[in-house]
Structure 1
């Protein structure tokens, strides 16, 4: 099912046949360097465990560009534990998290990621009532962080040793897009 389509860019819900695409993308070392890690290639069994077998409220989607599947995006309302960890324990609004990657490197550096982030943020605000959207990119991934900042996200706090990537725990930035604005002290 198409969730949104804005000119040539859109997203649709993940389908069983997409497992082949996920395996292709997540065995490519160039993609794995930024998403999951080169030490964690996904065979079909891992793709199914990671993307299909988890019964949670995550919306899993394929990114389409000119009707071609080029990547993956997911979003979810963050749970109470994450709200506490990220410092949103007293927040009343709907807080969503999102993660994404473009799995076809030929589509990198073309502005598609920026458009994807902006369109998905607007979709979450207008269709899910999101008031805050958060992500936690690894601190070393300057390219991704630039894309997110161009899309209106702001660094909130450093999350030391937050994510296991290629055999070591890496620092991440908690970044947010806040619909109502916020005073930032960074």
Structure 2
């Protein structure tokens, strides 16, 4: 896919299933991604992340040759573009997490998000890139704002997380 210094983003491979199962059973990661009441075992990882009909590009994030996280990107479908007000635009969304918590708060997330935005703008000709973090996920929101994302719309009760519907921000990056 691409590399930026010590950061490398590569396509998800079958052998990566154990990494996803490890990360997605860690309560620290699950606090904001999927929920602590919703851990993944190997069977669930294989069902969710390796579906053949999926239109999402799924990738592993490496830093200094260590596998540390996950990122996916996808073109928004027509229904979602209409909901967000992007009907005639080429818009991509991303979701990501750093699964190795010792790599948190070191600027790697900012490097990852800004590198992915550059990739999507240059190679996929995206007009905008969007994300929808939970409003309470202040660390992620600060990271995205550092990368040039702006909060554009509150999405009330957007995501079922740990038994409650949580508000999210629609955040966008555009040149």
Does TM, scored on the shorter chain, surpass 0.5? yes
CA distance in 2, matches of 1:34, 1:65: 22
CA distance in 2, matches of 1:121, 1:138: 20
Question: Given the alignment, which residue of 126, 129, 132 partners 1:133?
Answer: 129
Partner of 1:31: 29
Question: Given the alignment, which residue of 10, 13, 16 partners 2:11?
Answer: 13
Question: Given the alignment, which residue of 152, 155, 159 partners 1:156?
Answer: 152
CA distance in 2, matches of 1:15, 1:7: 22
Residue 114 of structure 1 aligns to a residue in which SS? Answer: helix
Q: Residues 53-92 of structure 1: matches in 2 within 5 Å? A: 53=51, 55-89=53-87, 91=88
Shift of 1:56: 2.3
CA distance in 2, matches of 1:169, 1:153: 24
Structure 2, unaligned stretches of length 5 or more?
none
Go from structure 1 to structure 2 and tell me whether the alpha carbon gap of 1:54 and 1:146 turns closer, same or farther (over 3 Å shift): farther
- 1:119-140 deviations in whole A, cap 9, x for unaligned? 0000001111111000000001
What is the total number of aligned residue pairs between the two structures?
A: 175
Partner of 1:109: 105
Structure 1, unaligned stretches of length 5 or more?
180-186
Shift of 1:175: 0.4
- 1:22 and 2:20 equivalent? yes
Shift of 1:54: 5.1
Shift of 1:167: 0.7
Out of 9-18 and 48-57, give the one that drifted further: 48-57
- 1:87-110 deviations in whole A, cap 9, x for unaligned? 212x3x310000000000000000
- 1:119-177 deviations in whole A, cap 9, x for unaligned? 00000011111110000000010110000001000000000000011111100000000
TM-score (norm 1): 0.92
- 1:40-87 deviations in whole A, cap 9, x for unaligned? 000111101211015122100000001110000000000001001112
